[in-house]
């Protein structure tokens, strides 16, 4: 049984975009069925474009971002989310030193929208609303 509202983090989108076996499973579980609302934090668009650019794939960025926008609802970072993200980052770093402000933004966005967070990022270990693939 899947949650009716999920937020894909950058890792989840990367797996889907690469067509990996994990990405295919995520697609079947969350993107293909009707009744599942997939959200994306705007920060993930930045992280994905940076990853593509670092691999020399800048020309694929517009198509990639367009496909994510078609498959999900992109949630912007508000001032309130930014404040909550800073607090969450500090809390996440108590368990995982590599937790980033982006991790805090993603988690704050999922919580704000009542969504399960789909991620395998170690920074989210122990968080109740996180589903790993």
Phi and psi at 74, nearest 5°, equal -85, 125
Report the distance separating Cα 3 and Cα 79, nearest Å. Answer: 27
Nearest to 124 by CA among 102, 79, 92: 92
**Which residue ranges make up each domain of the chain?**
5-76+113-131
Q: Is the pLDDT of residue 132 over 90?
A: no
End-to-end CA distance of the chain: 13
Query: Is 14's pLDDT higher than 90?
Result: yes
CATH of segment(s) 5-76+113-131: 3.40.50.1010
- Which position has the higher pLDDT, 132 or 99? 99
- pLDDT, average across residues 34-55: 96
For residue 86, the tally of other CB atoms under 10 A from its CB is: 13
What integer pLDDT is reported at residue 1 of this predicted model?
40
pLDDT of 3 over the 80 cut: no
Q: What is the pLDDT of residue 75?
A: 98
Integer Cα distance of 20 and 18 in angstroms: 5
Read off the pLDDT of each residue in 113-133 and give the average, rounded to a whole number.
Answer: 90
For the entire predicted model, the pTM comes to 0.92
- Report pLDDT for 47: 97
Query: What's the confidence (pLDDT) of residue 2?
Result: 52
């Amino acid at each position: 049984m899947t949650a009716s509202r999920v937020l894909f983090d950058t890792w989840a989108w990367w797996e889907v975009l690469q067509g990996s076996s994990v990405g295919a499973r995520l697609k079947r579980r969350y993107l293909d069925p009707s009744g599942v609302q997939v959200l994306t934090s705007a920060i993930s668009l930045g992280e994905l474009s940076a990853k593509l650019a670092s691999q020399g794939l800048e020309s694929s960025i517009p198509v990639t971002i367009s496909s994510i926008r078609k498959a999900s609802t992109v949630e912007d970072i508000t001032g309130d989310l930014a404040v909550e993200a800073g607090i969450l980052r500090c809390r996440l770093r108590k368990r995982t030193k590599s937790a980033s402000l982006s991790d805090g933004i993603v988690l704050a966005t999922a919580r704000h929208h009542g969504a399960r967070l789909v991620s395998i990022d170690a920074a989210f270990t122990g968080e109740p609303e996180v589903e790993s693939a």
